[in-house]
Amino acid sequence: MTDASNDLTMAHTTAGSAARAPGAGGAADVAAPVRIRVSNLDKRFRTAGDGVVAVDNVSFDVRQGEFVALLGPSGCGKSTILNMVAGLLDATDGEMAIDADPVVTGKVNRKVGYVFQRDTVFPWRTVEGNIGYGLEIAGVPKEERRRKVERAIEVSGLAGFGSSFPRTLSGGMRQRVALMRTLILEPDILLMDEPFGALDTHTKLEMHKTLLEIWERERQTVLFVTHDLGEALTLSSRIILLSARPGRLKEDFEVPFPRPRDAVSLRETAEFGQLYSHIWHSLGEEFRRTKAE
Ligand SMILES: Nc1ncnc2c1ncn2[C@@H]1O[C@H](COP(=O)(O)OP(=O)(O)OP(=O)(O)O)[C@@H](O)[C@H]1O
Ligand SMILES: [Mg+2]
C-alpha cells in the first residue's frame, strides 16, 4: 500500500469513487454488479411453542454503490435478515451471496462491515482505542493506525475527544465511535442495523448529515435497517418495505431525490412529503398489523 492509499477510504474524492457511484439522482445503476443477493430466504426460530416464522421467502439484490433501506415495523425480521446476510445466523432455507460467493455462517468476510443495533463500544477503551480496535486486530502498524484514527476522529466530529472514555460521551457520540470503528476498516459493503435508533431526533439528524457526507463521497454498498420512514427517505436510494411478521417483501420504492442531500432541508421539500405519505400508507398497514397481534 502506498502512503496515499493508506488514508481512510472516506477521505478520498477520486475518480474511482465516482466510477462506482449510482446515478446522481440516487437511482440504481442497473449495469452495476450485484454485491448482495438474497434469494428465497426463510427463517424459522425454534421456541418452546410452535416456533416463530421470522422471515418468509424474501428475495432482493443490492447493486454496487446502492444505499438500500430495509424498512418494516418492529419484530418483522429486519435484524434477522441482516444477521443472516452477515453470516452470523443460519438461514432455514434460501440462499445469500456476497459478490456471487455464498454466505457461509461463521465465516468472516472482510469486505463486509456491520454496525449493530445496540451501542457496542468497549467501555474500557478510549475513543481512539475503540476506533482503532479493528486495525489493531488486523496488525496495522502503530503509526499508520494513529494517522487513520486521527482522520476518523476528525471526519466524525469527535475532535478533542480521542482520549475520552465512552461513559463520558453522549449517546450520539458513542454511536459515532461505533460507526467509525467499522468504517475505518474500509469495508465496501456496509450492513447497518438501526444504528441511530436510540438517539433523539436532533442527534439523529446530525448523524444523518455525517453519514450522508461520508457515503456521498465513498458510495459504499449499504444495506441499512430501520423502522423510521423519514430516515430511510433521507439516506437511501431505494427502500425495500417488509410486511409485519413474518417478514415478507411487500414493495420496493426508488428514492429519486438528488444528491448531495441536505438531511434537514430535504425534509421540507414537497417531493419528500409526497413520497413520505405514499409509502406511509403501506407501512402504516403493517404497523397496525403488528399492533393487532
Ligand atoms: N433467537 C431467537 N429466538 C426466537 N425468536 C427470535 C430470535 N431472534 C428473533 N426472534 C423473533 O423473530 C422475529 C423477528 O425479530 P427481529 O429481531 O429480526 O425483528 P426486527 O425487525 O429487527 O425488530 P426491531 O425493529 O424491534 O429490531 C421476532 O418475532 C423475534 O421475537
Ligand atoms: Mg432489529
Distances (CA, A) of 41 to 19, 138, 214, 226: 31, 32, 31, 19
Say yes or no: CB of residue 45 within 6 Å of ligand 1.
yes
Give the least confident one: 1-5, 117-121, 223-227, 251-255: 1-5
Residue 118 belongs to a domain: no
Please indicate whether residue 197, judged by its CB atom, sits closer than 6 Å to ligand 1.
Answer: no
Judge if 249 and 274 occupy the same domain.
yes
Are residues 234 and 95 located together in one domain of the fold? yes
Q: Which of 145, 166, 186 is at the close of a domain?
A: 186
Task: Report yes or no on 20 lying in a domain.
Answer: yes
**Does any ligand 1 atom lie closer than 6 A to the CB of residue 43?**
no
Mean pLDDT of 8-14: 32
pTM for the full predicted model: 0.88
| Residue-range definition of the domain harbouring residue 161 | 123-186
pLDDT in tens, 182-213: 999 989 999 999 998 888 888 889 889 989 99
Examine residue 116 and state whether it is found in any structural domain, yes or no: no
Residues 159 and 61 in one domain: no
For residues 77 and 194, membership in a common domain is answered with: yes
Q: Is residue 8 part of a domain?
A: no
pLDDT value of residue 151 = 92
Among the candidates 186, 213, 229, a domain finishes at 186
Exposed e or buried b per residue across 82-98, where buried means at least 16 C-beta atoms within 10 angstroms of its C-beta = bbbbbbbbebbebebbb
Mutate which of 46, 71, 74, 79 for ligand 1? The one with the most ligand atoms within 8 Å of its CB, which is 79
Q: Are residues 176 and 196 in the same domain?
A: no
Nearest CA to ligand 1 atom 9: 80
Q: Is residue 229 part of a domain?
A: yes
pLDDT of residue 16: 31
Shared domain check, 82 and 202: yes
Residue 6 lies in a domain: no
Domain at 226, CATH number: 3.40.50.300
Q: Which tens digits make up the pLDDT trace of 264-276?
A: 999 999 999 999 9
Q: What ligand 1 atom has the least distance to the C-alpha of 55?
A: 14
What percentage of the chain exceeds 70 in pLDDT?
A: 90
State the total domains in the chain: 2
Same domain, 182 and 203: no
Same-domain status, 70 and 179: no
Same domain, 201 and 288: yes
Is any ligand 1 atom within 6 A of the Cβ of residue 208? no
In a mutational test of the pocket of ligand 1, which residue from 50, 55, 78, 81 has the highest number of ligand atoms less than 8 Å from its CB?
78
Tell me the per-residue pLDDT of 22-55, one tens digit each, with 9 for 90 and over: 444 455 677 899 999 999 999 999 987 888 999 9
Asked, for residue 153, whether it belongs to a domain, the answer is yes
Q: What's the confidence (pLDDT) of residue 27?
A: 57
**Residue 101: all three cell numbers together:** 460467493
pLDDT at 117 exceeding the cut of 90: no
Give the SS3 label for residue 4. Answer: helix
pLDDT at position 22: 42
pLDDT value of position 229: 96
The C-alpha cell 427463517 sits at: 43
pLDDT at 28: 60
How does DSSP assign the chain, residue by residue? --HHHHS-GGG---HHHHHT---TTS---TTSPEEEEEEEEEEEE--SSS-EEEEEEEEEEEETT-EEEEE--TTSSHHHHHHHHTTSS--SEEEEEETTEEP-TT---TTEEEE-SS----TTS-HHHHHTHHHHHTT--HHHHHHHHHHHHHHTT-TT-TT--GGGS-HHHHHHHHHHHHHTT--SEEEEESTTTTS-HHHHHHHHHHHHHHHHHH--EEEEEES-HHHHHHH-SEEEEEPSSSB-EEEEEE----SSPPTTGGGGSHHHHHHHHHHHHHHHHHHHHHHH-
The answer to the question of residue 275 being in a domain is yes
- Shared domain for 48 and 192, answered yes or no, is yes
If asked whether residues 107 and 226 sit together in one domain, one would say yes
80 lines ligand 1 (CB under 6 A): yes
Q: Pick from 154, 186, 218: which residue ends a domain?
A: 186
Same domain, 127 and 202: no
Q: Is the pLDDT of residue 172 over 90?
A: no
Range 265-272, long-range pairs (CB < 8 A, 24+ positions): 266/233, 266/234, 267/230, 267/234, 272/233
